């Protein structure tokens, strides 16, 4: 019997306690909660399956099981009166769409390293790579390890971290912090400020604008001289020089302005973060995280910013990998209020 059902008098009926767990799993997942986090929450409440915490695969099987919708398929035949419906259709459909998009759901046997290519060692600066090993009881364990320490044996002090621990830790902290309205406001305000700074401080653009003003003046002077009858081969040549210089400057100014004058409205910046938070973990990490620097006692999360730097990156509306604007958010293994404040790193 799938979780949530039992047989009474040779009929399949709802087992209300277990059905509550199924609904909980669906609701949480539809809200964007990561499956390991759901399992942790269940375990925390003393909810087990056959005496053990729910396995990832079990939860994914539950999330894909049409019986909870009241549907039972046998080859091409559909029966709607065998299993009573447990999960509301709206939530089931939402979850089905998410599971289909989610690699975890599709290929649950293949290990997905959520943080691959995002991790850097805070001590030696080498990337942190993903790997697996087998423990003495035959269990496969996945780790994130410093390449400097492991491959180059540079004596780096960074210790290996269990994959599940680190991924949950990072996701939980990001979800929790970004769901706080004042944290979101701090980020949005900071990015608006950063955007203003970027646009103000563009020396190339400023130089070109000054040069344009000078060229325009010189051209005006020359034109009034010509009006007064001073016209020769020299003035004619000078006129063409100034005209072509002016049009070239104007072209370059447009290019430079399109690079820097990206004035995203506050609502777009906010939307970028809010929508990223609703995505599957892999997508969420790709969208939001630029880099995570690991130490033994803390991690620093560098967020991507929706501010774009180049017009070429315009295809998706935002630059997800803006190198000039990002924010580190420091998360401590041991909470330390002084270290938990968000800081802006202006790296323009
Ligand atoms: Zn290292």
Please determine, for residue 257, whether its predicted confidence score (pLDDT) is greater than 80: no
User: Is residue 71 predicted with pLDDT exceeding 90?
Assistant: yes
302 Cα–ligand 1 center, Å: 18
Mean pLDDT, the chain, whole residue set: 78
d(CA 129, ligand 1 centre) in Å: 11
Q: Which residues contact 214 (CB under 8 A, 6 or more apart)?
A: none
Element containing residue 292 per DSSP (H, E): strand 289-294
Q: Band of the pLDDT at 299, cuts 50, 70, 90?
A: confident
Ligand 1: centre distance to CA 346 (Å): 25
Q: What spacing in Å lies between the alpha carbon of 322 and ligand 1's midpoint? A: 25
Predicted confidence (pLDDT) at residue 301 exceeds the cutoff of 60: yes
Q: Which long-range contacts (C-beta less than 8 Å, at least 24 apart) are formed by 223-230?
A: none
In angstroms, what is the span from residue 304 Cα to ligand 1's centroid?
23
pLDDT band at residue 186 using 50, 70 and 90 as cut-offs: confident
Ion ligand 1: protein residues whose beta carbon lies under 5 Å: 121, 123-124, 146, 148, 156, 158
The three-state (H, E, C) secondary structure of 230-282, written as one string: CCCHHHHHHHHHHHHHHHHHHHHHHHHHHHHCCCCCHHHHHHHHHHHHCCCHH
């Amino acid at each position: 019997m799938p979780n949530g059902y039992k047989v009474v008098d040779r009929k399949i009926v709802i087992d209300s306690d277990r059905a509550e767990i199924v609904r909980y799993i669906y609701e949480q997942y539809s809200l964007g909660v990561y499956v390991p986090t759901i399992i942790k929450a269940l375990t925390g409440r003393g909810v087990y399956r056959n005496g053990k915490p729910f396995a990832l695969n079990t939860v994914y099987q539950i999330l894909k099981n049409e019986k909870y919708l009241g549907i039972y398929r046998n080859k091409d035949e559909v029966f709607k009166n065998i299993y009573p419906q447990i999960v509301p259709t709206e939530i089931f459909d939402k979850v089905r769409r998410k599971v289909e998009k989610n690699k975890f759901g599709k290929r649950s046997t293949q290990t997905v390293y959520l943080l691959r290519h995002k991790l850097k060692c805070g001590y030696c600066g080498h990337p942190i790579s993903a790997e697996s090993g087998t423990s003495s009881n035959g269990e496969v364990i996945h780790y994130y390890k410093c390449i400097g320490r492991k491959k180059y044996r540079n004596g780096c002090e960074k210790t290996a971290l269990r994959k599940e621990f680190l991924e949950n830790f990072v996701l939980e902290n990001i979800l929790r912090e970004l769901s706080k309205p004042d944290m979101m406001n701090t980020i949005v305000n900071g990015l608006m400020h950063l955007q203003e700074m970027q646009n103000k401080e563009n020396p190339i653009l400023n130089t070109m604008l000054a040069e344009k003003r000078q060229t325009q003046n010189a051209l005006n002077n020359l034109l009034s001289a010509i009006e007064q009858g001073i016209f020769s081969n020299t003035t004619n040549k000078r006129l063409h020089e100034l005209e072509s210089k002016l049009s070239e400057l104007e072209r370059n100014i447009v290019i430079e302005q399109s690079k820097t004058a990206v004035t995203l409205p506050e609502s777009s910046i906010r939307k970028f973060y809010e929508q990223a938070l609703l995505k599957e973990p892999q997508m969420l990490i790709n969208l939001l995280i630029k880099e995570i620097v690991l130490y033994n006692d803390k991690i620093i999360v560098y967020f991507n910013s929706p501010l774009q730097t180049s017009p070429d990156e315009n295809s998706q509306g935002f630059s997800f990998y803006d190198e000039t604007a990002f924010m580190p958010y420091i998360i401590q293994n041991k909470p330390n209020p002084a270290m938990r404040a968000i800081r802006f790193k202006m790296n323009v």
